[in-house]
Structure 1
């Protein structure tokens, strides 16, 4: 069975900004003005970060564009209150999974550090008679990168936390997003300031970088409403752009992995393909 990129990276979501970046000023006066404004921005982002973490889950609509001009739309539930997980549906043709799944939509889970794709049972091979295909996160990010994203590291809550530590941020003012009035904030974090996530973004040999084209910096935009909650979050890394619209916060049930007996694990095959 031939594995295409679409069967793997569609599960990728935006990674957390656990980093700091530097900013400067041409004079002491300008530095003071920048610092005062940065303090105000940081206070707003900390409120949004705390509020997002407190709620623990959200119904989202998400778009992933790996730089080919063909964004992949997904929608479903993201949960980070009890370990990071998601349960979404995506367009089967857009992710080139027609050979594995005849239905127009494909359900995808992320649970306990692994991606699961709902497929049609195959007549032979490792997916023979299986309802689900599993690919461990280590096949996407590499072993060290997967450890960096352990727990809630890849969740919207973790991304909001990352903004708290970025001092190179901008307040771009009020904008209308998804029918809501929101304040637009922006931050840029280079590779040297990604902390432990440099293991994922700095490893040129893992699948994330081979698909995204190398990640030297992350640019993140977030729109926060008057309830201190994100309305939209966009991250740019390498050729990739991931956008999440938050439709509703809270109320999700626990997301569980499919039964092992119904799952075929392709992690090692994907890793071998990368090495080859």
Structure 2
């Protein structure tokens, strides 16, 4: 973790176990999405956009595909489609977003296994669900979720990437990670195995909070302070804020740029929780068949699809 995330270390736990414990609260309140913006941009070097996103309040998602030919575009489209088709089945919060991501993984993996042209494809995915007093997140890969609160930008998710692991272990500095030759290698993605570990956590939503989901094309191009400045300057017009960010991204470097996928403002409609803890420890839901057939989970956006 590069120090910008305030999230506690993850805890491993099987999906067959009980649901995560919730903080006790005297009353239930809802989270209302009062404003949102979204958009995508291919950038200057790529002919295709391998990102896809979902804006179906109270459900939001970003997927960033990878693979040869059009496989990355297909992977992100399949994953986003799984989320769009959600009909609000039983369950809520972290369990629901984990199940959505598992279904997205199943679709990408099955297509990759059955279609030689799509073999080796994968995608990141980050999902947000506004619910009773909080926003639940599910996360796989290096597409990020951010919280803008009280004039500060906080990274909520931990990247599942090689350089992020090296930074967390103290073997690499955040500055070194920015130019590391393997900075595009991710260690967890949808579609590489029949099951996937999903990190989940919940954030208490306060009045005026703004949540942002984005692919690495934004965060690898634009510094945090620039992102925050653009958002705060255009808070009343989130589409304009998105345009400013993508324009800044394209002007800084002449390389592939992925989009800011969506922005949402969450406002509480009743008294907020008395707990001062904004971010719960993350739970890793592990869905594993009895005898899974594992393939390598290390993917690079620049790598050609693997054989078979």
TM-score, length basis structure 2: 0.24
Specify the structure having the higher radius of gyration (Cα). 1
Higher strand share: 1
Q: Say which structure, 1 or 2, has more relative contact order (CA 8 Å, 6+ apart).
A: 2
TM-score, length basis structure 1: 0.25
